[in-house]
Amino acid sequence: MTATISPARAADVPCQLYAAAPNRLADLAVKAACAEVAAGTMYTWGGGHGARPGKTYGYFDGQDEASRHDDTVLGFDCSGFVRYVWSQAVGYDIVGSGATGNEVKVLTAPTAKNTVIYGPGGLEPGDIVFFGDKHWYGNSIEHVALSLGGDRIAEAAQSGTPLHARVLNADKFVMAIRINTDTVGQPGPDPGASGAAHSTWGTWIRLGEQPVHGSRVVAVLPGPTQVKVNCQRRSDSITAEGTTNDWWSYLPEYQGWITNIYLQGPAVLPDIPECGTGRDLSGLSGTPGGGQFSTWGSDVNVRGGATTAANLVATISAPTAVRITCQAHGGVVDAEGYVNDVWSYLPDYHGWVSNIYIQGPGVLPVPECASGGTVPAAAATCTDGTEPTGSDARTPSGRSVELEGRLIELRYSDSTECGWGRISHGGTGDHIWVDRSSDGGAHWEPQLGHTTITDGQDVHTVQWRDSGVVMRACGSVAGRPDVVCTSWF
């Protein structure tokens, strides 16, 4: 967790490969690191050491005044950063939640069979580089970073600064560890595998050894990828990206399973048979009923009528959870390998989207719009930062999570189209807030209505407009760095 070890940080350099990546996993680790640098992610003391790899809020280290307010900063410290980027490359946590010294112990264990490098020359992209002070009685490990190749590193350095890339400090170099891909590797795609061609969407999509939540990860797809699918089956129900689906597809190239949520097309692929039976599934709808769905693709047009000739009223830049009140036949659209004349009405956008760009079957399980093209009137939304007013408040399915006995919920009112956060069974000093995103969760307004329990066990935030956006509730326990959030709604 140590902050910077040099009195002045060297000038930043572009975060990129400075030598050829030795393997696919190292390349993915560097890409994950540079994505965080590009996003402006901040250093925060203790950040990234939650139960699972990922950004967390930090805390005051007890000495460095620069970290005094790190409990309000979401990000990584040095070892949390390295833990995260390699988990993104491999698909699981190869380090654990401990700090820098723990990383050395884990990565140099005999079973890991990793290579230890004792000189700064010849570093390859993806190498995990440790810095510290050298003494006659031994070396101290105080900092860790990721090699970009040559003498460049990406790092989380100190409180108050963003993640960055720079030239390494050779005087402080202690050792580096090169990850053995044989012990953590994943199979690459098998070009000889057979199956129907489909495309995934989303980033850092994990493929499991079995079609169940939490199965061992066998591969990670860093971005939209064309894959082969040879069968699909029902198994664990997964909720993600505003969609719930219990159908999974087998990808023989990777010898792994993917939830159909991340395959472009309807929830049950019409050209793929059922695994083990060969049954034709083209007539099935794998999408549950209800009005909450998700778009897929980028720059999806929302129009003032159910035709491509209608005026453009909005553009949905990335996959986004949306509400649909009804659907109607309209202009024929031929796109993404599908032809469909059914359009869905999105009340939060006051417009129509071709069903081709809505995850689910070609005709969704929602009512038909009334004749004459009339649509339901939009609900009256609330004012940001006010007390919750919806008498029909509910906790949407899958929008609650537990943390050390606390229940953290996103509350939502259909009548006001507003949401707020609530924490129950907590204690003094526990925190609750909501995040709000206009691009499906890629970026968000953080910690809206941040509220702390000062008395009792339960507290809620003020309400925030949830029309045309997605929201989630997040919380933490007093004095602990771990942060948990519900899924987006």
440-457 per-position pLDDT tens digit: 776 778 889 999 999 889
Neighbouring C-beta atoms of residue 68, cutoff 10 Å = 14
Tokens 């005051």 -> residue: 60
- Please say whether the dihedral angle defined by the alpha carbons of residues 267, 273, 275 and 278, taken in this order, is positive or negative: positive
Residue range 98-118: mean pLDDT, rounded: 81
- List the one residue out of 48, 52, 32 whose CA is nearest residue 81: 48
CB-based contact 366:324 (threshold 8 Å): yes
End-to-end CA distance of the chain: 33
What is the per-residue pLDDT across 272-285, written as a single tens digit (0 to 9) for each? 888 877 877 765 64
Please, what is the average pLDDT of the chain? Answer: 83
Residue 465 has pLDDT above 50, yes or no: yes
* Residues sharing a CB contact under 8 Å with residue 61, sequence separation 6 or more, in sequence order: 1, 3, 45, 46, 67, 70
Q: What is the pTM of this model?
A: 0.45
Higher pLDDT, 486 or 289: 486
Determine how β-strand 351-354 pairs with β-strand 338-346. antiparallel
State the Cα–Cα distance between residues 192 and 316, nearest whole angstrom. Answer: 37
Higher pLDDT, 172 or 382: 172
What is the per-residue pLDDT across 351-368, written as a single tens digit (0 to 9) for each? 899 988 888 777 777 777
What is the per-residue pLDDT across 222-281, written as a single tens digit (0 to 9) for each? 778 888 998 998 888 887 776 777 889 999 888 889 998 888 877 788 778 888 778 777
